[in-house]
A and B are shown apart, each in its own frame.
Chain A
Amino acid sequence: MSHFNDYEADQSRLYNIGHVEDINSEKSKAKVRGIWKITAILTVITIIEVALGLSLADKMGDYRWVLNLAFIILTIAKALFIVSNFMHLGDENKGMKLMIYVPLTLFIWFIIAFLADGSWWLEISQALGYSHPS
């Protein structure tokens, strides 16, 4: 392990070869409890989403977008829990976190722009008589 690639250098420090936690220690058990706690949160959020989907899907009328916004917020919450806790991004260096989270904000523009485009296509289609309001 004495000679390293000129670019990569000695990365053994990053692999935690040094201090190892015992699986039976209190620290380890606390971490495992935390993992199951996050699991419970994710399950509850999913149950809420399904319950909303089943009960309110047909009943919102013009305010369907409120329900959709609720779904999107709950889904993004689940995504943040998974990325931060299960993928351990929450434990990483600040630069690493930024490198992942900042480009993903492109999705905000991406989603709004394309869904707005889609709605506009429908509007034009209806205005030109190709589709009728359903």
Chain B
Amino acid sequence: MSTAAVANKKTKWMGGESPFDISYGKMMMWFFLMSDAFTFGAFLISYGTIRFSSPLWPDPNSVFRAFPGGFENAPLMFVSLMTFILIVSSVTMVLAVHSGHCRDKRGVVKWMLWTILGGIAFLSCQAWEWVHLHHEGAWVGAFRDGMNMEHLPNFFSENVDAETLRLYGADAAHKFFNFFFAITGFHGFHVLSGVIFNIMILVFTMNGVFDRKGHYEWVEKCGLYWHFVDLVWVFVFTCFYLL
């Protein structure tokens, strides 16, 4: 190591410090999020490819019209609520991380509780959406064998003529719902694991684990994961409900 001692240490890459001024754990979380971003990206782009290659496709404003309480003509309202819930839970997570930076244990507990509540609310909404769609005949592998086709026209825009619907409707709905349940399911699984991690962090905080460590970096790392979950939802929302 004599060369290191003699050389003028101009770069951060000479060892003994983090070149990006970031801790190992945080950097690894970012690496994981990058890999997960490409996984979700691959799913969403494959959805786009299949959709662009189809002569007919369901209309999101027609598929997603229900709202709990019996409302059947509120297009996109329920999913807007879900998006709002998840964004707000992301905000409460940022506030929890901020409280962690300030070593405010009570603040961390309070904001983590709100974040967990938001996550559970989102999962409940997603479950309701799935059950509602299932009642209309939509499910993984549906519309394949001519069964439960009564609701099929409801999923398409009124501008579609009957002949096009007859030729391509079932196939399009089949593909749409396969992708929908797979991607929202995969995302929901991430939300669920995020809620579990958040509960763990909450318990650790309440037990004073981070006070003893001297820093709240675990909260920050879970925060990164939670924000990623929110980010993916922003893209899923755009791809399935808007585009």
Question: Which A residues are closer than 8 A to B by beta carbons?
Answer: 8-9, 11, 14-17, 20-23, 28, 31-32, 35-36, 39, 42-43, 46, 49-50, 52-54, 57-58, 68, 71-72, 75, 78-79, 82-83, 85-88, 92-93, 95-96, 99-100, 103-104, 106-107, 110-111, 114-115, 117-119, 121-122, 125-126, 131-134
Cβ-neighbour of A132 out of B80, B167, B241 (below 8 A): B167
Q: Does B190 contact A (CB under 8 A)?
A: no
Q: List 11 A-B contacts (CB under 8 A).
A: A15-B214, A21-B101, A36-B91, A42-B87, A50-B76, A75-B234, A86-B227, A92-B22, A99-B20, A114-B48, A131-B168
Cβ-neighbour of B238 out of A39, A75, A121 (below 8 A): A75
Instruction: Quote the shortest CB–CB distance from A111 to chain B (angstroms).
Output: 6
B59 with A14: CB separation less than 8 A: no
A57 with B22: CB separation less than 8 A: no
Cβ-neighbour of A117 out of B18, B49, B243 (below 8 A): B49
Instruction: Quote the shortest CB–CB distance from B121 to chain A (angstroms).
Output: 17
B20 with A32: CB separation less than 8 A: no
Whole-angstrom CA separation of A133 from B157 in the bound complex: 16
Contacts of A87 in B (CB 8 A): 223-224, 227-228
Cβ-neighbour of B24 out of A8, A39, A79, A126 (below 8 A): A8
A49 with B167: CB separation less than 8 A: no
Q: Does B3 contact A (CB under 8 A)?
A: no
Size band of the interface chain B makes with A: 35 or more
Whole-angstrom CA separation of A107 from B42 in the bound complex: 9
A122 with B54: CB separation less than 8 A: yes
B61 with A100: CB separation less than 8 A: no
Contacts of B102 in A (CB 8 A): 20-23, 28
Contacts of A118 in B (CB 8 A): 48-53
Stretch among B92-100, B130-138, B144-152, B176-184 lining the A interface: B92-100
Main secondary structure of the interface of B (DSSP, over half): helix
Q: Does B117 contact A (CB under 8 A)?
A: no
Q: Given A14-B22, A134-B56, are A31 and B84 neighbors across the interface (CB < 8 Å)?
A: no
Q: Given A15-B215, A35-B95, A39-B91, are A110 and B55 neighbors across the interface (CB < 8 Å)?
A: no
Contacts of B95 in A (CB 8 A): 32, 35
A100 with B34: CB separation less than 8 A: yes
Contacts of A35 in B (CB 8 A): 91, 94-95, 98
A54 with B234: CB separation less than 8 A: no
Cβ-neighbour of A71 out of B22, B214, B243 (below 8 A): B243
Whole-angstrom CA separation of A98 from B214 in the bound complex: 30
Whole-angstrom CA separation of A132 from B76 in the bound complex: 30
Q: Given A75-B235, A92-B20, are A126 and B75 neighbors across the interface (CB < 8 Å)?
A: no
Whole-angstrom CA separation of A104 from B30 in the bound complex: 13
Q: Does B124 contact A (CB under 8 A)?
A: no
Q: Given A95-B20, A133-B55, are A100 and B46 neighbors across the interface (CB < 8 Å)?
A: no
Whole-angstrom CA separation of A11 from B224 in the bound complex: 19
A58 with B157: CB separation less than 8 A: yes
Contacts of A23 in B (CB 8 A): 99, 102, 104, 107
Whole-angstrom CA separation of A134 from B156 in the bound complex: 13
Q: Does B90 contact A (CB under 8 A)?
A: yes
7 pairs of A and B residues whose beta carbons are closest in the complex: A118-B52, A118-B49, A121-B53, A15-B215, A23-B102, A23-B104, A96-B20
Q: Given A39-B87, A79-B235, A100-B34, are A14 and B80 neighbors across the interface (CB < 8 Å)?
A: no
